[in-house]
Amino acid sequence: MEPLGTTIGVVVALLLFTSFIKVATVLSICRYGIGLVGVEFGVVCLVVAIGLSVVASPPELRAVGIPERLFSSTSVVDNKALVDAALPFMEKRLDPVIEEHLKIRAGEGTRDIRSIAPAFVLSELKLAFQIGCTLLIPLVLIDLLVAHIITLIGAVSLSAQTVALPIKLVLFIVAGGWGMLGKKLLGLE
């Protein structure tokens, strides 16, 4: 196989073969749940997701020089070595039901990158939606409670979003939300 000759190839490998998809999805759901829907917060979520993917890249990828190659002038990585390094990381994080479903649909019985990569991405998305819903439901309940209280007191000209935002941020910080979220995203829990 010919090597990945560009930094773009290394970036794509880093994003595909790490938990970037899960982290970016969860942070986006969290962002909408809290109520920070501006474009600038989307950029912040993307940068944090990339940063966490680089910092917490699996040891298997570090063994072949990812993400160090991202910051060096020689960004050539052997495709076979990269795939061989990524497979164990991806296999550990597969949802068996998704993997089996994709294998049956594709008619494949071998465990190679073509069968594992889609199952890995879908497994990461499934986990991201589970974490996201766990975050989103309490935040939506806070929104509903604040909107109900504002309606009860007759302050309909006051935006429920404006009142709910600081309450959600304070509760998230007091409950240790960033620590719990980080542990879940990095697979430490």
pLDDT of residue 152: 92
pLDDT of residue 105: 59
CA distance 43 to 83: 29
Rounding to the nearest 10 degrees, give the CA dihedral for residues 20, 26, 31, 34. -160
pLDDT of residue 37: 82
Residues of the chain below pLDDT 50 = 1-2, 4
pLDDT of residue 1: 45
CA distance 163 to 168: 9
CA distance 119 to 125: 10
Burial class (CB in 10 A: 0-12, 13-18, 19+), 25: buried
Q: What angle do CA 90, 95, 99 make, to 5 degrees?
A: 80
Q: Is the peptide bond before 96 cis (omega within 30 degrees of 0)?
A: no
pLDDT of residue 10: 67
Question: What are the φ and ψ backbone dihedral angles of 148, each rounded to 5 degrees?
Answer: -65, -45
For residue 112, give the DSSP letter: S
pLDDT of residue 130: 93
Per-residue model confidence as pLDDT tens digits over 34-74:
888 888 888 999 888 888 877 777 776 666 666 666 555 55
